[in-house]
Chain A
Amino acid sequence: MESHAEFLRVETLDSALSEAIKRDWRTAPGLSARELAILTYVEKLTRHAYKMVAEDLDALRDVGLDDTGILQVNLIASWFNYINRVADGLGVGKAERAVGHATMTP
């Protein structure tokens, strides 16, 4: 999570925000109602995708997103879930496994 938080900090010049997201996005300062609605959807999609219901989109519509915006939220969140699994499943960005060590501590 370091790398993306790093970029977020540079982009928004708000280290408090990116640090809070690393811990718990719900504690992040200065999020708009629209941003809160987006991250609520994103969290459910990431943690419990099988629980999603049509009503989950209503909260996004309520903050002014149209269907293109909703699709964009879903696809960006889905893409990062994809890239996280590529990275974790193939050992991208992890320390090289030292030769002679059978396992790494998870």
Chain B
Amino acid sequence: MPWIKTVSPQESDEVREAMMAQRPLYPAAYAGSPESATRLPQAVLDESIVASHSLIPEALKHAFSTFGVLMNPALPLSRREHELIAATVSSLNACFY
């Protein structure tokens, strides 16, 4: 868990709604069935990175909605290109995510 306080979706309707609001924006490959949940990038799946935003639920909603929008298959880049960019940035930043 992060070094700041977090609020779980069980504790707060606002946090739960923020978490729910961003999910439908993810492409079909990401969201929906339990087995497809395992296909989410860990950067998003990991409760901790989402939870880190939970004291400001509107920021949580918009930050992760933005990510979902950017993964839209109707846009020019392929799934492989999304992942190449993500992995390269995280690697250059020497970041776990």
Interface set of A (CB-CB < 8 Å, partner B)? 1-8, 10-12, 18, 21-22, 25, 31, 34-35, 38-39, 42-43, 46-47, 65-66, 68-69, 72-73, 75-77, 79-88, 90-94, 96-97
Contacts and interface: CB of A to CB of B under 8 A. Distances in A.
B46 interface: yes
Contacts of A42: 85, 88-89
Contacts of B81: 34-35, 38, 73
Interface size, B (range): 35 or more
A92 B97 contact: yes
Contacts of B83: 4, 7-8, 11-12
Contacts of A39: 84-85, 88
A9 B63 CA distance: 25
B91 interface: yes
The winner among A4, A6, A88, A92 for most chain B CB atoms within 10 A is A92
B88 A43 contact: yes
Contact of B43 (A4, A46, A75): A4
B90 interface: yes
Interface stretch (B8-16, B19-27, B48-56): B48-56
A21 B91 contact: yes
A23 B84 CA distance: 13
B93 A81 contact: yes
A11 B90 contact: no
Interface of B: 1-4, 39-43, 46, 48-49, 52-53, 63, 66-67, 70, 75-77, 79-97
The winner among A8, A42, A97 for most chain B CB atoms within 10 A is A8
A87 B96 contact: yes
B57 to A, nearest CB: 15
Given A84-B97, A92-B49, A25 B91 contact: yes
